[in-house]
């Protein structure tokens, strides 16, 4: 389950998550319990970006790596045993979530605010954001922006029909549905 519905026992973190290299920026502002594990945070990021958690991933902070132990990544600590408040303590502290080592999506995660436990929901919530998360397996941020979007936006582009068949005609790179994301975050997993 992405969020936690348990009573808050500590502060709530407001994080800004930006897809590195996206121009214009693709970002989300979320609030999560400060004691959330990195494994849970990764699942929250998958929901807010509209992704399916189908690839390897790892967090990095201060030269250390954290991932799912099932991935058996060398020199990587178990993300399910590391809590967010161990790595981020003060506003402007940051970490990176790298997802899909072939496409190399990177989320820059910055702690914006530390809120008291009673000031925010006790589960993950998305407060704001801009633009749709790119489709998975599109080839990374450069391929998404320079190839995929060019093909989808231009009916005369040689790959226009192929890309629409792959992604569907309903894909809107500017779309962002806050209510839908928060409904998905509340769903038990």
Domain ranges, residue 97: 12-131+174-186
Query: Which pTM was predicted?
Result: 0.91
Q: Give the sign of the dihedral formed by CA 28, CA 154, CA 147, CA 100.
A: positive
Residue 94: give its domain's CATH number. 3.10.290.30
Q: List, for residues 63-81, the tens digit of each pLDDT value.
A: 999 999 998 889 999 999 9
For residue 170, what pLDDT is reported? 77
pLDDT of 5 > 50? The answer is: no
How many domains does the chain divide into? 1
Q: List, for residues 136-167, the tens digit of each pLDDT value.
A: 899 999 999 999 999 998 999 999 999 988 98
139, part of any domain = no
For residue 91, what pLDDT is reported? 98
Average pLDDT over residues 6-35: 90
5, part of any domain = no
73, part of any domain = yes
For residue 118, what pLDDT is reported? 81
For 75, counting Cβ atoms within 10 Å of its Cβ (0-12 exposed, 13-18 middle, 19+ buried), the class is: exposed
């Amino acid at each position: 389950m992405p969020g936690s519905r348990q009573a808050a026992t500590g502060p709530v973190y407001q994080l800004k998550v930006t897809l590195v290299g996206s121009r214009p920026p693709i970002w989300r502002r979320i609030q999560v319990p400060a004691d959330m594990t990195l494994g849970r945070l990764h699942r929250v990021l998958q929901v807010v970006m509209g992704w399916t958690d189908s690839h390897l991933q790892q967090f990095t902070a201060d030269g250390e790596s954290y991932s799912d132990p099932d991935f058996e990544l060398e020199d990587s600590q178990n993300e399910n045993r590391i809590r967010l408040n161990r790595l981020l303590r003060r506003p402007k502290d940051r970490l990176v979530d790298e997802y899909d080592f072939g496409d190399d999506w990177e989320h820059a995660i910055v702690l914006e605010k530390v809120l008291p436990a009673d000031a925010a929901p006790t589960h993950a919530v998305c407060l704001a954001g801009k633009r749709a998360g790119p489709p998975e397996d599109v080839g990374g941020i450069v391929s998404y922006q320079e190839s995929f979007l060019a093909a989808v936006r231009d009916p005369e582009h040689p790959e226009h029909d192929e890309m629409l068949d792959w992604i569907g005609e309903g894909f809107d790179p500017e779309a962002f549905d806050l209510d839908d994301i928060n409904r998905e975050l509340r769903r038990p997993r």
